[in-house]
Structure formats: structure tokens, C-alpha cells
Structure 1
Amino acid sequence: MNRSTSAGGGHGRRRRLTLRTPAVAALCLTGTLALGAAPAPAAPARAAADPLARFHHQHVDFKSCLLGPDDTTGKELEQAGARCADVTVPLDYARPGGRTITVAISRIRGTDTAHRAGALLLNSGGPGGQTIGDPPWVRAAMKDVGARYDVVGVDPRFVGRSTPLDCRWPTGSMIRGAGVDRAGFDRMVALSAELADRCRAHAGDLLPYATTRNTARDMDVVRAALGERRISYLGYSYGSYLGEVYATMYPRRVDRVVLDGVIDPARYGPRLLRGTEAANRHALRDWAGWAAAHDTAYGLGRTRGAVLAAVDAVQAAAARTPLRVGAYRVDEHVVPVVLFNGLSQDNPAAFGDFAQAVRDLRRAAEGRAVTPSPWLAESLRFLLTGDDSAYGSAQTAILCGDVPAPRDPETYWRDLRRAGTRDRLFTPVTDDIGACAFWDPPRERPTAIRGDLPALLVNATGDPRTVYRGAQTMRRGWPSSRLVTLRGADQHAVYGVFGSSCVDSAVNAYLAGGRLPHRDLTCSRPAG
């Protein structure tokens, strides 16, 4: 917005409420805080020519990625041969001689030095999603082509290991359902104001600098510090917007660009989820058909209609009184987010997780004692505790810092009422008020994205987070680009994730030779 809200999932990773790829490493709250630290001073002549010279020419000290015995991400990186480092960047690029922060990176070096293509920087979405743990699975997805690249994961500023920003929220996400009446909506207004106030109190010195433009500037410092004249880039979901911004700000610094789950920059902002309702209803119907075919396992009904009725019954019960699910009270504001979060991955494992969650919620609605299934327990822990406060804090800070949101609560209430009864499940999530309504105005205008870029765009037709028309819009706006469409899948993030050999081969061929396909490609959903 999501890493916005979506549901990543797969590769054993936790699904997050964010516009991001499912293949993101588990959240690690350990970070490096280097306030006031700076790289060694550069030569005076160099500094005079380039105010960022001391950052561009800093020494990057790669070391072990392992932070401790419980660091799962570090262990995976170590096993893949990755090394990690901290790159120092200005907190405020308008004052490069002032306070500094660090950005954490990981790197798997390329082994095919005879055909080296340079560095491939990654962003797996969010905003707020960690990327430092992604080089191993991306390197595997690239197959033999990966040996030509240094594959580099970057935790964006204020995320994960990169000087984390934490507003000390009692939740991992600002996103909630609006409720069924004005009283419920007013509760969400109060919650949104409280979350914004907590950010001002606990992270106010960092908030003005949490922007996509500053993240792009950090990327360019990473590029220079690694000694690269140009970089290639792979960005998923929100990472597609970051790639659009970077390519606009630094057009001579990009080589091969792959954007998967493409955001239309004209629609990017705190209300990015608006307009995804139809895609989510389609995904819900497809899942319901699958659940009906597996009624023996989940007991939600033998027809699609019966399964959808079970979903409606859960929502209606939560609107009457909060459901008791294990240790949690799940009310009308939380149930719609759990349901929304269950739809972004189109595969049997994700479908099964979601079916178990709906089964548990229905049992709770019937007054039965419930021990939540692992996916539901994780979702409720994320939404109803402060364990992942840093994730939601960073995501919100970036969204609010990029584009202003409407400030009058009545704007949101009118939108909700206008939607009426057309969609009682998803519109209360996508049109609800959020913390950005109470945020200080952004310091910079949003980036006006460049008119053309020879990039490779990837999107599924049924993507319920970054809807397909966003990729179509960018394809029209970038005549030199090409679009790879995965047809017939309700899938968010495709390359290296969904298992489409057609998509993966097209991306790898482009990364190998740097040549886009002659025309747009359409790949069918794999059988089975």
C-alpha cells in the first residue's frame, strides 16, 4: 500500500497487509541506527564538484549477515553466500552535511565474470517491506542468468535493518474496516488520529524524510558506493512505483528494469486500494469455488454460493458483537481486513490457509471455542498487537509522506455512503479513513513520472492489489516498454513466485540479453 494492504504469502513467508510480493523474508526488527556517523571525508575538489561525494565514494564494508542465533533471514543469506553491509546516506538530502542514517544491503556476487551484467537491485514492495532477505530466492528464480549479476537486496530507509522507524502502535497496520454505521466510522476516525499522534510523538524527527523520493536517492548512493555506473532493477508492487520514480530521477543510471505488479503512478497515494474492489470480489468468488470443491476438508459448503454465504455470515456476526477467536476479540473493523488479506495468492496452499481462517471465524460466530489456525493466528497477532508496529509505522509514514490525503473525515464518510450496498465487504476497507488524514503535509510534490522507459512490465489479469489496468496504463504511457500478461490468475506478484515458466523465461531472457520482446506477451495460467 500494501507491502496499502494486501496479502503476500508463499515460500514459507508471512503474509503482510501490504502491497508487496509474497516472497518477503520474515520481519526482523533489528536495525542499525547511525545518527551523526558519516563516511570518511573525500578529497576537497571532489566534494566541491559533488555535494554527495563523501557518500558516493564511501568504503562499503561487507560482513556476515547473521545478527544472532535466532536470525532466520541472516541464516538464509549466509547459506546462499550473501554478505551484508551498511551504507551511510543523508537523512535530509537538502542538507548532506547534516545528520546521517544507514541503509542495510545484502549482496550475492555474480560468478560469471566473463559475462557480467552489473548489479541488480531489488525491492519487494510495501511500502515498508524488507528486501534484504530476498537475493537468495531471486537468484534461484534467475537460474543461470543470475550468475551474471550481483543480486542486491536493500532495506529501504526506516525499514527493517535500515534505521527503523517505530511509532509504537498497538497494531501492525493502520488499515481497518469502517464498520456498518456512523458510530463505527467515528471509531476509525479516532483510531486514525491516535495513530498519527503516536507517530509525531515517537518518530517526528524522521517522518519528514520518509518518502519514495528519498528512498530513490538512497538507491543511487548505493549504486555509486558499489562502484556501478548503472544498475538494473527488479521491483514488485510498491517496488514498481519506486522503480518508476528512480528511473525518472536518474534516467542515465538505469539499465534493465523489470516491474512486476505495476502501479499507475497517477493513482499512487494513501488511498491506493480504492478501485480494487471488483478484482477482490473476483478473487473471492474463485476461492469460494475452490473451497466448495474441497468441502470435505473445510466444511464451508458444497457450492460457491454456500461458501460466499458463510463469509457473509461471519461479517454479519462480527457487526453484532465481537467474535472470540483464541485470545483475540475480532470485531467489525478487523474481520473485513482479515478477509481482504486472504486474497492475493492464487495457489492451493494460500487457498487452504484462507479456508481454515474462514472456518475458524464461522465457528466463533456460532459461539464455539476456537483455537485459530496458524495463518489466522498470525493475521490477528499482526492486527491486534504492537509486535509489528515498526512495519505499519514505516508503511504509513512513506504513504503519507509521498502524497497528501483528504483531511476532512466527511470526505471518507461520503465515499462510504455513496458505495452503499454495492460492496459491503471490501469497500469498507478500501474507502475507510486512515492516519494520513491527520498527517503533516508532504515536503515535496510527487514525482512526475517520465514519459517513456524501455522496461519489462509483468502483471496478472486478476491481480487484486495492483490491478491489471495499472500495467496497461503504464504500457500505453511507455511506448518502448513491453507487457507480459499472466492470464486467468488472481495473483499478486508473478515472476519467480507463481510458477509460470512462460513468465519466468520471458523475464530471464530479458535480463540475460537486455533486449525486450518484439511484442507484448500473454502467458496462460499453468494447468493444475
Structure 2
Amino acid sequence: MRAARVLAARVLTAQVLAAQVLAAQRTAARRTATRRTAARRVGPVMAAVVAGLGTMAATTGCGAARVTPVAYVSSTPSLAWKACEETASASGFECATLQVPLDYAEPEGKKIGIALVRLRATDPSRRIGSLVFNFGGPGGSGVTTLINAAHAFSTLNTRYDLVGFDPRGVERSSGIRCLTGPQMDQYMSEEPSDDTATETKLVTGFAQACERNAGWILPYVGTVNAARDMEMLRTALGEPHLNYFGFSYGTHLGAVYATQFPKKVGRMVLDSAVDPSVSMLEMAKTQTLGFQKAYEDYLADCAKTRTSCPLGATPAEANATVLKLLDTLARTPGKVGSRTVTEDIARAGITQALYSKLTWPLLTEALDEGRKGKLDGLLALADQYAGRQPNGTYSTLQFSLPSVLCVDSTDRPSVAQAKELARQLEKKSPIFASTAISAGSCSVWPVRGNDAARHVDATGSNPILVVGVTNDPATPYQWAPRLAEQLRTAVLLTLNGEGHGAYGQDQCIDEKVNAYLLEGTVPPNGTRCG
């Protein structure tokens, strides 16, 4: 897998889970009534996002990422809310742009615009304030996602204005774009090379394209600066404290905000927690094994709970079917129209469908069709995973994601080290082991990193609710208690279950999260649901 795509496996959330529902729509006309019901039962947060997901000279060489002390901004930013142009068919959404410093070391210097969206509280007489969301990535569009996901948070919307934003470097907020659509198609279809020099050349070319086309913003897109943007957003909204709901990467952003501004934390929920202290290689290993566990659970479910699993009567038989399909594509890539479907693209489609147990039937259908030569389903899943639009363009996700990850850390394992890790994982996880190669991507990134975002401590803040799912493949469960411990002021809430993201999957989780955000009721530390 190409590094930019694989890095997305770190922290994708509702933004990417929407793709599973989009794939379900694609095949709805051919699905049985039972399968249609299963597709509609995808958790509210996931199903709700079904429709979602500069010209300055480039900076030079490997300049250090800009992480500076918070500087004084001379005036309170103002917001001019107006009806969102892209929601003509929807009612109630307002959009605005928040002007923030490109470089917080020069607060009166060049500004960039942060795109915002808001849906006002439906019960103004009981309004608490604003609830700001980040749905993950790094690189997911909070504007697009909230527009499509708002009804999943209708209970919270009774008393909160729901607010989403595109973080700096994402989509409408000076979104980073490194390659054109056709160039990305070619890049995404490349298979990992056994030759380290060839692999390094490919990821270096991607990094150089990012520097060439978006170098002016690359040093400024890290999580520390994004947290400072959220503090300016809090001020512009007129809120005394920041009430915040972060998913996946959004938990990292929330943790960094709470570290920088502990006294400004209101009610904060961090769902599908990220441990910011893990190394690139540790992250790659943990996620590879996490997706392998989800894949094995999927195979067992297909063989055990389905009336008949078309892939095989046992998990071993079903696995053999999948491996045979991938081997066939490795030797002879398939075609969907003018597009080529490689083993790597099929692997991305499989990964995409493993984010939620409720979308496993879609994977079964895509694999069953794939082994018969019809690869539309796997390609559709892979496209959604990559952020590829029907018109052949890509969202900024694949570009902003590595930009943020590499700025947020000084950890720079080489491509050779990452390839060695992939080799070690091959026996345990033959399908997903190659994704570990992504751990070497930052070694060739044109901007040096800074470790400020890797150290979190919210001492002095209000209680923070950290939520983890025991069988989460993308942000493995062990990261949740680790994040809670590092924050010092957090309590841990656990869902015993499958999938990426707890809210919207389980009534017990929803009740406890809602009680905390709406009433301030903090559940006992260590509470479990499911």
C-alpha cells in the first residue's frame, strides 16, 4: 500500500465509516431485504454521514515545523454567519469563516480562513452553549460531516448549537492538495515494492509533490496549531469554556487542547481514543494486528452466523478464498471500466469494511463478487477509503493526513525499518502486514516534526470522558486507558464490542455520554457497557 493511504488507517472515524453506507447504497438494488435492513442498521453516527466525507512560494528544504508559544492576538475574532451555499436543500445550517494566524509566532501576520458550520439548538430556552466536533482523520472535513451527521446528534442538539469545522490544511480551510486525480489513481494503484530504494523513491515523490504544491502551509498544519484555532473559535463563539466531542484523531486534538488550555475545558468527550505517545513503528504494528483481529472476527461471523457464507463453510475456507482472490489480483490486476483494480486496492476495500461489524455483509458481497471477476464492490469501498469522488477527484484527506502526522512527531523510522516490520508481521497478518510500510513515510517528509503534540496532561481541567471499544481495529482499545492516564483528569468509559467508534452503537454508551454532555453527570471511572 502506498504510505499516504495506509496512514489513514490510524485514526479514521465517522468521516470514513460513511463510505460503508455509500457502498451499501450502490448495491441496494441487488441486495435482499435482509441485507437492506442490515445496511440501514448501521449505527446512527456512521449512517448519518452517508453523503459526507494558496499561491505563496514553497518553504525550503526540511524546515522545522512551527510550534511556538501562544501569542497575543490583538482582537477577538468575529463571525459572520450566513446560510450555507451547499445546503440549499437542507434547513437550519449556517456557515462562517474564522480568520486565524497562519503562524502563531506572528499573530498579526498572514491569516488563513477556517471554515465553520453551525446548527442552532432546537430548544433555545434550555440552551447550554456550543458543542464543537472533530470527526477524525487527521484530515476529515468537519463541515461536510456535520452537515450529514447532525441528526445523529439530535438529542444533544436540543440544548447545544452543533459546530463543525475544517481544520487548517483540510478542504475549505486552505486544503492541501499534492497530486491531481489521475496522479493519485496511479499512486494508489502501485503495489509495495520488495526493493527498498524503489519504495523510498515512490514515497519521496509523493512528499516532494506536497512540498511543491502546498509547501507554504505544511509547517503550520500540526495539531498544536489546530488546538489554538479551536481556542480562537471558542472566543469567537462567545463561550466561556469549550464543550467538545472528538472522535478518533479528534481525541488527540481534544487532548492537546486540554493540555494547552486546561482551564477553558468545559465538557469534553473523546471517543475512540488515540495514544499520542506511541511511536510510528508501534502504531503500525498495533494497527496491523488490530485489523487482523477484526478480519478474523469477520471470517468467524460469516461462517457461524450467516445462513450460508459464500466464501467458505469455515473461517479457514473463507480466508483461503480471500487470499486466492488477492493472489489472483497480484498476478493479474482486474478491470472496472477503464480503471485497474490491483491487490492493493482490493486490500484497501477490505480494510474499509472492517471498521464496523454492521458493514461486514457488504464485505462478503464484494468479496463474493470479486472472486467471480466483478470487482465493482471492492473498488467502491477502496475509493471511499481513499476519499476518491465519482468525478475522479480526491478529497484532501490523503494529503492533509500525512502532513499532520509528520509535523506532530520527530519520530522518523526509515522505509527500510518499516519494511522489516512488515516482514516480521507477514506470518501473523499476510493481508495487512504490508500496511506497516507506511511507518517510514515521515522519513522523507519535507518538514521536520515537533513532539509537542505527543505529550498531553490536562491537569487543572474539568473531568474529560475518554471512550474506547474493546475490538476497535483502527484505534486499539489499549490506547484509551493510556490516554485517560496521561490526561490525569479523565475517566474511562468502555464498550465491549466491535468497530471504530462507540457513540451511536450502544444505548448504554449513548445514555452516559448524553448525561455527561447535557447534565454534567460523570460516570464512574472504569464503567463498561455492551
| 1:71 equivalent in structure 2 | none
Structure 1 residues 234 and 173 mapped into 2: Cα distance closer, same or farther (>3 Å)? farther
Residues 199 and 26 (structure 1 numbering): CA distance in 2 closer, same or farther, change over 3 Å? farther
Indicate the residue corresponding to 1:193 in structure 2.
204
Q: Cα RMSD between the aligned structures?
A: 3.2
Alpha-carbon shift at residue 58 of structure 1 (Å): 2.9
Which 10-residue stretch deviates more, 227-236 or 132-141?
132-141
Matching of residues 63-212 of structure 1 within 5 Å? 63-67=82-86, 74-75=87-88, 78-79=90-91, 81-135=92-146, 139-169=150-180, 170-171=183-184, 179=192, 182-183=194-195, 186-212=197-223
Q: Distance in 1 between matches of 2:397 and 2:153?
A: 28
- Equivalent of residue 337 in structure 1, options 348, 364, 371: 348
User: Offset at 1:520?
Assistant: 2.4
Q: Given residue 380 of structure 2, which amino acid in structure 1 is its aligned partner?
A: W
Q: 1:444 to 1:303 in 2, by over 3 A?
A: closer
Pair 1:476 & 2:485 matched: yes
Q: CA 1:493 to 1:441, structure 2 compared with 1: closer, same or farther past 3 Å? A: same
Cα deviation, 1:345-372, whole Å, max 9, x if unaligned, reads: 111xx112211221233223xxxx6554
Give identity over the alignment, percent.
Answer: 29
1:387 lines up with 2:393 in the alignment: yes
Q: For 2:479 and 2:529, how far apart are their aligned partners in 1? A: 18
Structure 2 unaligned residues grouped into runs of 5+:
1-6, 24-44, 57-69
Q: Does structure 1 retain, via aligned residues, the 8 Å contact 2:18–2:50? A: no
Tell me, yes or no, if the aligned pair for 2:457 and 2:488 is still in contact at 8 Å. no
Q: Of 216, 230, 238, which residue of structure 2 is paired with 1:227?
A: 238
Q: Deviations over 1:144-187 (max 9, x none)?
A: 443221211111112122122211252289888974x724x554
Equivalent positions of 1:335-414 (< 5 A) are: 335-347=346-358, 350-364=359-373, 370-372=375-377, 375-376=380-381, 378-379=383-384, 382=387, 387-388=393-394, 390-406=396-412, 408-414=414-420
Aligned match of 2:41: none
Distance between the aligned counterparts of 2:80 and 2:471, measured in 1? Answer: 43
Change (3 A) 1:261 1:370: closer
Deviates more, 1:300-309 or 1:369-378: 369-378
* 1:324 Cα deviation from its structure 2 partner: 3.2
- Counterpart of 1:457 in structure 2 is 466
How far the C-alpha of 1:490 sits from its partner, in A, is 1.9
Deviations 1:88-131 (CA, angstroms, capped at 9, x unpaired): 11111111222111001111122444443221110000011011
Distance 2:357 2:122 in 1: 34
Q: Are the equivalent residues in 2 in contact too, given 1:216–1:246 (CA < 8 A)?
A: yes
The answer to whether the aligner puts 1:437 opposite 2:443 as a matched pair is: yes
The separation in 2 between residues aligned to 1:296 and 1:220, in whole angstroms, is 53
Gaps in structure 1 of 5+ consecutive residues:
16-20, 36-48, 68-73
- In the TM superposition, what is the alpha-carbon distance from 1:469 to its structure 2 partner? 0.3
Q: Does residue 520 of structure 2 align to residue 511 of structure 1?
A: no
Contact 2:350 2:381 in 1 (8 A): no
Question: Which of these residues, 12, 17, 21, is aligned with residue 9 of structure 1?
Answer: 17
**Alpha carbons of structure 1 residues 176 and 342: separation in structure 2 relative to 1, 3 Å:** farther
Match of 1:61 in 2: 80
1:376 Cα shift? 3.7
Match for 1:439: what amino acid?
Answer: W
Name the amino acid aligned to 2:220: Y
Amino acid at match of 1:340: T
Asked if the contact 1:248–1:449 (Cα under 8 Å) also holds between the matched residues in 2, the reply is yes
Counterpart CA distance in 1 for 2:282 and 2:337 is 32
User: Number of matched residues?
Assistant: 481
The answer to whether 1:52 aligns with 2:106 is: no
Distance 1:155 1:389, change over 3 A: closer
Deviations 1:443-469 (A, max 9, x none): 643332015452111121000000000
Amino acid at match of 1:126: G
- Counterpart code for 1:508: N
Give the secondary structure class of the aligned counterpart of 1:446: helix
Distance 2:101 2:441 in 1: 27
User: Would you tell me which structure has more helix in proportion to its own residues?
Assistant: 2
1:154–1:401 distance in 2 versus 1, CA, 3 Å = same
Find the residue that maps to 1:302 and give its secondary structure. Answer: coil
User: 1:25·1:131 contact (CA, 8 Å) conserved in 2?
Assistant: no
C-alpha separation in 2, matches of 1:134 and 1:301: 37
What residue number does 2:28 align with? none
Give the match for residue 18 of structure 1.
none
Q: State the one-letter code of the partner of 1:128.
A: G
**How far off its partner does 1:517 sit?**
1.2
1:302 aligns with 2:313: yes
| 1: CA distance, partners of 2:263 / 2:143 | 25
